[in-house]
Amino acid sequence: MTTLRWVAPAIVVQVAFVEWTRDGLLRHPRFVGVRDDKPPPDVRRESVR
């Protein structure tokens, strides 16, 4: 069995994706870049535009 390890967020990245699935997962996510302008505690899930 694999051991899980929870970690604290240390960096913020921007991810582009097609859509949210019904299960709350990202469909076709891709890394866009590192966001140096936001600290991890300030990041929230964005709402649908």
Q: What is the pLDDT of residues 12-49, one digit of tens each?
A: 999 999 999 999 899 999 999 999 999 999 998 877 65
Report the pLDDT value the prediction gives residue 36, as an integer from 0 to 100. 95
Report the pLDDT value the prediction gives residue 46, as an integer from 0 to 100. 76
Q: Taking a C-beta distance cutoff of 8 angstroms, is the pair 15, 29 a contact?
A: yes
Report the pLDDT value the prediction gives residue 45, as an integer from 0 to 100. 82
Residue type, 41: P
Q: Taking a C-beta distance cutoff of 8 angstroms, is the pair 2, 25 a contact?
A: no
- 20 domain residue, yes or no: yes
Report the pLDDT value the prediction gives residue 12, as an integer from 0 to 100. 96
Residue ranges making up the domain that contains 24: 13-40
- 25 domain residue, yes or no: yes
Report the pLDDT value the prediction gives residue 48, as an integer from 0 to 100. 62
Domain count, the chain: 1
Rounded alpha-carbon distances, angstroms, from residue 19 to 14, 16, 23: 15, 9, 11
Alpha carbon of residue 29 to chain centroid: 9
- 7 domain residue, yes or no: no
Report the pLDDT value the prediction gives residue 1, as an integer from 0 to 100. 74
Half-sphere exposure of 1 (CA within 13 A, CB side): 3
Report pTM: 0.68
